[in-house]
Chains A and B, each alone.
Chain A
Amino acid sequence: MKNRYSIFSLIKNAFSYHENWQKAWKDPTPKKEYDAVIIGGGGHGLATAYYLAKKHNMTNIAVVEKGWIGGGNTGRNTTIIRSNYLWDASAGLYDHALKLWEGLSQEINYNVMFSQRGVMNLAHNLQDIRDLKRRTHANRLNGIDAVYLSTEEVKKFCPIINTSPNIRYPVLGGTLQRRAGTARHDAVAWGYARGADEMGVDIIQNCEVKGIKRNGDEVEGIETTKGFIKTKKVGVVAAGHSSVLANMAGLRLPLESKPLQALVSEPVKPIIDTVVMSNAVHAYVSQSDKGELVIGAGTDDYISYSQKGSHDIVEGTLNAILELYPIFSRMRMLRQWGGIVDICPDASPIISKTNVKGLYFNCGWGTGGFKATPGSGDLFAHTIANDEPHKLNAAFNLNRFISGDLVDEHGAAAVAH
């Protein structure tokens, strides 16, 4: 049993100089066989394992991670969480996740620092205004909170924005989802890992999957750097490396993997208490609890697994940031990094069965899957346990690329993240 985290456990452990905290998860050697194996120990993979154990009583399972848990895109993203997507299928998917976020810290007894500080999306031209208004209406029809703001209302909500009509891309309006916000990325991975571990899930780090073994149309197991693991069900949740794993099983996916960058500034006093995103000029900014400005840039346009992006992308983003927030002109940037994102042609994810029995993929989240972590895990667990999708992820199957029933969220979803 895990000791519960609370104010009392914090005080108690202070007396022993925080040296006696219980381990949050074990470091097991892999068993010979599991009922299911999840490949990829990011937030989505760990959440999948958590819900498999919690809701479907599948506890003889493992999560296999080539590096350390949360070291992929989960630990590299700008943590924007929102559900104001255009289409009904997306609205259902992302709002399911948002509702889970609202109770997540209590559910997993781990403070994920979910902060509903609102997310504002800016409009810079007539087409932006039309798109954002259309999306606001669509959101409200789906029961998702959304309001359209005038330039004055944008300024009132976030006073440091430069709303002068004389800038290159003037702010003509915007939308606001107040239930949206941010969360602590690492905590999400760690909290789910701790919860899953408590229910008996093996979390195996430093274990790279090198092959997926098939017996005809069925999965038999996986080849890893820690030996062969037998299993009838494999759930792949490997973000930018999804195609690499698909190729191991002899499949192809409709994905392209590209670098996406972010950067943070030196910490400063509270200056921006919401998240502001702009699609047209491609810049997003929020402020972390430590005080750093967290800035998201765009993707490079070429396929790469190098986990670093191009300088000109960052330069373009910072140009936009400076025009929108002249107050930041003296800020120094502390760190910059990249993650490899798996981009789908319709900018929507894949949570799906495949032609191979027992092989499931959860991928294609591209630049915007952090927000979906709890929902994605819940629905993927359902799909794996029942060998059938849940109604909320039925539209996000692989077959849509054959039937043409795409969920086109490009641009329609406000912005990439």
Chain B
Amino acid sequence: MFLITCPFCGEREQSEFKAGGEAHIERPKQPTELSDDEWAEYLFMRKNIKGVQFERWNHAHGCRKWFNMIRDTSNDTIKAVYKMGEKPPVK
């Protein structure tokens, strides 16, 4: 359990949020051109990083807006929170 600072509402309990998994996975521009391998990559294959990971979160029991987060999954510390469409503030 940890606290998350929603970019719209401020600091709230993690239980108010829904995790949306790995961030910055781009939807294929031309889905009809995709091979089965490429579909599998897009749909299923994940980095599932132990360490600093970029991910999407939704403030499900709050403003219900999506945003991005950089979090260390080995100890659940949050490095940064930024809005959808914004560039990650750290690498």
Contacts and interface: CB of A to CB of B under 8 A. Distances in A.
Contact of A254 (B46, B53, B73, B76): B46
B74 interface: yes
Contacts, number: 69
A249 to B, nearest CB: 14
A48 to B, nearest CB: 22
B18 A301 contact: yes
Interface string A257-290: 1000000000000000000000000000000000
A253 B1 contact: no
Contacts of A252: 41, 45-47
B48 A256 contact: yes
A257 B48 contact: yes
Nearest to A306: B76
Contacts of B49: 243, 247, 303
A312 B15 CA distance: 7
A310 B3 CA distance: 11
Contacts of A372: none
B75 to A, nearest CB: 6
Contacts of A253: 45-46, 48
Main secondary structure of the interface of B (DSSP, over half): mixed
Contacts of B40: 254, 401-402
A304 B13 CA distance: 17
A404 B18 CA distance: 27
Indicate the size class of the contact surface on chain A: 20 to 34
A239 interface: no
A304 B39 CA distance: 26
A302 B1 contact: no
B46 A243 contact: yes
A303 B55 contact: yes
B73 A304 contact: yes
Interface in A358-417: 401-404
B14 A310 contact: yes
Pick the most buried of B1, B19, B48, B53: most chain A CB atoms within 10 A of its CB: B48
A311 to B, nearest CB: 5
Nearest to B57: A302
B14 to A, nearest CB: 7
Given A310-B14, A312-B15, A305 B46 contact: no
B15 A306 contact: no
Contact of A402 (B1, B14, B18, B36): B36
A200 interface: no
Interface in B32-91: 36-37, 39-41, 43-50, 53, 55, 73-76
Nearest to B14: A310
B7 interface: no
Interface of B: 1, 13-15, 18-19, 21, 36-37, 39-41, 43-50, 53, 55, 73-76
Given A303-B49, A310-B15, 4 more contacts: A252-B41, A257-B50, A303-B21, A401-B40
